[in-house]
Amino acid sequence: MTRAQQILLATLAVSWYNVAVIWLMQVLIYPSWAFIPTADFGDAQSYHFVRLFLVVFPQAALATLGALALLRRRPPGIPKAALWLGLGIQLFLWILTALLWGRWQGQIALGDAPPGSLGLANTELYHLLVVTHWLRVALITAYGILVFWVAYRSFGHL
């Protein structure tokens, strides 16, 4: 196994971890926020947001570093364009997270509602987050599929 294939396996593992987490967030976590009593929403959101950094961001960073490393050490039989596409997906995810989803999560407990509640403005922002977050789910899933294809193709050349 080449060093490029070792990097590929690590990137494959972290990418599919990210796929599992994003689907869990979208299908279970975000919808469950609607059932949190208004008075408890601020505490629940704060609890979620702090722990999100432990569960999501290190692995997201590793997936991006893996995309960069694969460009430097291209696995056998893999077109460079596929690896550039992977890096592009990763960068697009970071940009959209900074501009949209990360910012919105930080704002949900604010707005025209009392601090720490899910008032009218925050409910609208919450729904915007949940609806648009499907794009993030699609991008992370697409990257996982791309890395799986790269691994399948690379290890088929052994």
Residue type, position 109, single letter: A
Number of domains composing the chain: 1
Average of per-residue pLDDT across 120-144: 89
Q: Residue 118: its pLDDT value, please?
A: 56
The residue segments making up the domain with residue 90 are 3-155
> Tokens 């430097």 correspond to what residue?
72
pLDDT in tens, 27-36: 999 898 888 8
- Confidence class of residue 15 from pLDDT cuts 50, 70 and 90? very high
Q: Residue 36: its pLDDT value, please?
A: 80
pLDDT in tens, 88-106: 999 999 999 999 988 887 7
37 backbone dihedrals φ, ψ, rounded to 5°: -55, 140
Q: Residue 116: its pLDDT value, please?
A: 53
pLDDT in tens, 52-82: 888 999 999 999 999 999 999 999 889 999 9
Question: What is the Cβ-side half-sphere exposure of residue 138, based on CA atoms within 13 angstroms?
Answer: 7
Q: Residue 123: its pLDDT value, please?
A: 75
Q: Residue 89: its pLDDT value, please?
A: 98
How far is residue 108's CA from residue 157's CA, in Å, rounded to a whole number?
Answer: 49
Average of per-residue pLDDT across 126-153: 95
How far is residue 11's CA from residue 152's CA, in Å, rounded to a whole number?
Answer: 13
- Confidence class of residue 115 from pLDDT cuts 50, 70 and 90? low
Q: Residue 80: its pLDDT value, please?
A: 97
In the chain, what is the straight-line distance between the N-terminal and C-terminal CA atoms, in Å? 8
Average pLDDT along the chain:
88
Average of per-residue pLDDT across 122-149: 93
The model carries a pTM of 0.89
